[in-house]
Amino acid sequence: MIDYGRICLEEVKNPERFDGNTDFVKDAVDYAVKKVWDVMGDFVHYHPSPSSTDLMYKQLLNTPEMLGGDWVGGFWTGMLWLSYELTGNEVYRAVAEAQLEDYKKCVETPEAVWHHDIGFLYIPSSVAQYKLTGSQRAKKVSLKAAKLLAKRFCRNAGIIQVRNRNAQGDFIIDCCMNVPLLFWASTMTQDREYNYKAYSHLAQAIRCMVRDDASTYQCYQVDELTGEPVRGWQGQGYDDDSCWARGQVWIMYGLAIGYRYTQEKALLEVAKRVSNYFLNRLPSDLICDWDLMFTEDDVQRDTSSAPVAACALLELEKYLDADDPLREVYHNAAVSIMRNLAEHYTTKGVESNGLLQHGVYCKDKGDGGLGDDECCIWGDYFYMEGLTRLAKDWKMYW
Ligand code: GLY
């Protein structure tokens, strides 16, 4: 049983900040699909680096080691699938399909995939291909990937462990977005073990990482033999008491998707609580600062978290009762976030092979950081996913 009663459900402050006018969507979609078209030739069997340098992504070859050794390759393939959906242009589809072989080789080299980010890699790529085209080959690759992810489950601890070595009992909030691959595999195979592992991981994330005020830790260690909480820390966030913006949006979206698959009320209730916490800590243009302990306008934004939040809110909205006032609040908040990204944060007018400026991969905390105030490829993907959600009746890849 998930105890969500201890977690505060804040009332969303000043909902009049948000408005649901979507007249920006067409222009924003045109800019995004044109950018994907313009850079596509550089990324056929390459994927963009996680973040840009001076707003330019580097080309990384789709070898099992490069694709499987990091977490981001799937986002570019996902952008190709979204571009195909938005335009009907078969060229986007052909490039995305050409990459399936790269993902196949990668999952057949399991030692190259030594971490938990298998959902991020395979959902927007091979699962998307299966859902859009019915490709049995893509389904097979995706189910192999799910099997690999399921192997990382530590039964006593009830979690998907983050890495292979020196990490017994460690899990991170980002993985709430990997477990949808297990939920999906369960629906494909009727094997309830996948479902159990995904649900158990989310339940442990809620128990350990979501604080009573609905803020979150990024990283947590549980006792590997009993699953009992040991300690939380912040990883990519400001400090151990703060709330890393991207961690908060990963769990917002992960719980919304978890609810879709399980219909488990606790997941929806906690999704609302972490979402309201997020919405109450936005600066004036609604684009979150990189850590939610900051709410001021003169702090570094993280445009790679903002569209994840918008997608989460658009998903959550679907599961609220027709007369629940939060429905309109979530919808309008998501639209307003997307509008402000489209109008103030794209790469329009600057030299770049990315879509959104002012993202943060790892904030410079005196160690130089990484991709601090740059384009981030997952931000670009979720920005396009948010636009697609607003442009059409979109069937989820997750
Ligand atoms: N590790 C995933 C992220 O940076 O959000």
**297 a catalytic residue:** no
pLDDT of residue 173: 97
- Mean pLDDT to the nearest integer, 183-198: 98
Residue type at 314 in one-letter notation: L
pLDDT of residue 228: 96
Cα–Cα distance, 363 to 380 (Å, whole number): 18
- Express each pLDDT in 45-94 by its tens digit: 999 999 999 999 999 999 999 999 999 999 999 999 999 999 999 999 99
What distance in angstroms lies between residue 23's CA and the mean position of ligand 1's atoms? 31
The pick from 70, 117, 236 for probing ligand 1's pocket by mutation, whose C-beta has the most ligand atoms within 8 angstroms, reads 236
What distance in angstroms lies between residue 54's CA and the mean position of ligand 1's atoms? 20
**117 a catalytic residue:** yes
**Considering the chain, what percentage of its residues have pLDDT values greater than 90?**
96
Closest ligand 1 atom to residue 250 Cα is: 5
pLDDT of residue 163: 78
Among the residue ranges 113-117, 129-133, 384-388, the one predicted with the least confidence is 113-117
What distance in angstroms lies between residue 72's CA and the mean position of ligand 1's atoms? 9
DSSP for 18-44 reads -----TTHHHHHHHHHHHHHHHGGG-S
| Of 120, 116, 139, 115, the residue nearest 77 (C-alpha) | 120
| Of 56, 76, 123, the residue nearest 371 (C-alpha) | 56
| Of 253, 204, 203, 257, the residue nearest 229 (C-alpha) | 204
Asked if pLDDT for residue 168 goes beyond 90, the answer is no
Beta strand 359-362 pairing with 229-233: unpaired
Ligand 1 binding pocket includes 174 (Cβ within 6 Å): yes
CATH number 3.20.20.70 given to 15-391: no
- Express each pLDDT in 209-231 by its tens digit: 999 999 999 999 999 999 999 99
Closest ligand 1 atom to residue 120 Cα is: 2
**Domain edges within the chain:** 15-391
| Of 348, 370, 317, 380, the residue nearest 18 (C-alpha) | 317
Residue found under tokens 């007369």? 323
- Nearest CA owner, ligand 1 atom 4: 361
pLDDT of residue 175: 97
Residue 220 and residue 170 in contact, taking contact as beta carbons nearer than 8 Å: yes
Identify the DSSP state of 395. Answer: P
pTM of the model as a whole: 0.98
DSSP H or E segment with residue 245 = helix 245-262
Identify the DSSP state of 17. Answer: G
Q: How many CA atoms lie within 13 A of 361 on its CB side?
A: 19
Q: Is 276 helix (H, G, I), strand (E, B) or coil?
A: helix
Burial class (CB in 10 A: 0-12, 13-18, 19+), 135: middle
- Express each pLDDT in 242-290 by its tens digit: 999 999 999 999 999 999 999 999 999 999 999 999 999 999 999 999 9
Cα–Cα distance, 311 to 389 (Å, whole number): 8
Asked if pLDDT for residue 165 goes beyond 90, the answer is no
DSSP for 150-217 reads HHTEETTTTEE-SBSSS-TTEEEGGGGGTTHHHHHHHHHH--HHHHHHHHHHHHHHHHHHB-TTS-B-
pLDDT of residue 1: 85
What distance in angstroms lies between residue 174's CA and the mean position of ligand 1's atoms? 6
Ligand 1 binding pocket includes 246 (Cβ within 6 Å): yes
Residue 205 and residue 279 in contact, taking contact as beta carbons nearer than 8 Å: no
The single residue of 117, 170, 285, 373 carrying the catalytic annotation is: 117
The single residue of 102, 170, 174, 372 carrying the catalytic annotation is: 174
- Express each pLDDT in 140-155 by its tens digit: 999 999 999 999 999 9
DSSP for 73-116 reads HHHHHHHHHHHHHHH--HHHHHHHHHTHHHHHHHHT-GGG--BS
Hey, what are 352's tokens?
């770049």
What distance in angstroms lies between residue 363's CA and the mean position of ligand 1's atoms? 12
- Nearest CA owner, ligand 1 atom 2: 174
Residue type at 87 in one-letter notation: T
**Considering the chain, what percentage of its residues have pLDDT values greater than 70?**
99
User: Which residues 6+ apart lie within 8 Å of 325 measured at CB?
Assistant: none
Question: CA of 93: how far to CAs of 37, 90, 125, in Å?
Answer: 12, 5, 11
DSSP for 337-353 reads HHHHHHHHSB-TTS--S
